[in-house]
Amino acid sequence: MSTTPPIEDFEPQMPDDLDVEHCYRHPGRETGVRCANCGRPICHECMVPAAVGFRCPDCMAEQRRGAGRPRVVTRQQTRSRWQSSGVMGQARGLSVTKVLIAINVAVFLVEVATGALSSILEQVRLGGLVPAYVAINHEYWRMFTVMFLHESFFHILFNMVALWFLGEYTEAILGHVKFLVLYLVTGLAGSVLIVLLAAPLGVTVGASGAIFGVFGALIAYAFLNRHRDYMARAMFGQLMFWLALNVVLGLTEKGLSWQGHVGGFVTGIVLMCLYNMFGRKSPGGRFTGTDIAVTVAVIAVLLVLTFWRVQTFTLAALIPWL
The string of DSSP codes covering 59-114 is HHHHHHTT--S-S--SHHHHHHHHSHHHHHHHS-SS-HHHHHHHHHHHHHHHHHHH
Q: Which residues contact 189 (CB under 8 A, 6 or more apart)?
A: 209, 213, 263, 264, 266, 267, 298, 302
Mean pLDDT in residue range 293-322: 86
pLDDT at 241: 80
pLDDT at 210: 95
Provide the percentage of residues in the chain whose pLDDT is more than 70: 78
If DSSP codes are grouped into helix, strand and coil, which group holds residue 37? coil
If DSSP codes are grouped into helix, strand and coil, which group holds residue 194? helix
Band of pLDDT at residue 296, cut at 50, 70 and 90: very high
pTM for this predicted structure: 0.71
pLDDT at 255: 62
What is the distance between the alpha carbons of residues 74 and 14, in angstroms, rounded to a whole number? 30
pLDDT at 15: 55
pLDDT at 84: 41
Check whether 215 has a pLDDT greater than 90.
yes
- How many CA atoms, within 13 angstroms, populate the side-chain half-sphere of residue 67? 12
What is the distance between the alpha carbons of residues 149 and 257, in angstroms, rounded to a whole number? 14
- For residues 192 and 263, is the Cβ–Cβ distance under 8 A? yes
pLDDT at 88: 42
List the one residue out of 244, 181, 191, 192 whose CA is nearest residue 214: 181
Q: Which of 53-62, 179-188, 251-260, 274-283 has the lowest mean pLDDT?
A: 251-260
Check whether 322 has a pLDDT greater than 90.
no
pLDDT at 207: 92
CA-to-CA dists, residue 201 to 19, 121, 124, angstroms: 57, 12, 11
pLDDT at 295: 96
Alpha helices in the chain (DSSP H): 57-64, 75-82, 84-90, 96-114, 120-126, 131-137, 142-145, 153-174, 176-197, 208-224, 230-252, 258-275, 289-312
pLDDT at 1: 52
The strand pair at 21-22 and 30-31 is best described as antiparallel
If DSSP codes are grouped into helix, strand and coil, which group holds residue 130? coil
List the one residue out of 248, 106, 133, 154 whose CA is nearest residue 199: 133
Check whether 125 has a pLDDT greater than 80.
yes
Band of pLDDT at residue 292, cut at 50, 70 and 90: very high
pLDDT digits (tens, 9 = 90+) for 66-87: 554 545 545 555 555 545 434 4
Please tell me which residue, 7 or 141, carries the higher pLDDT value.
141
The kind and range of the H/E element at 41 are strand 41-42
List the one residue out of 278, 270, 73, 99 whose CA is nearest residue 171: 99
Please tell me which residue, 54 or 229, carries the higher pLDDT value.
54
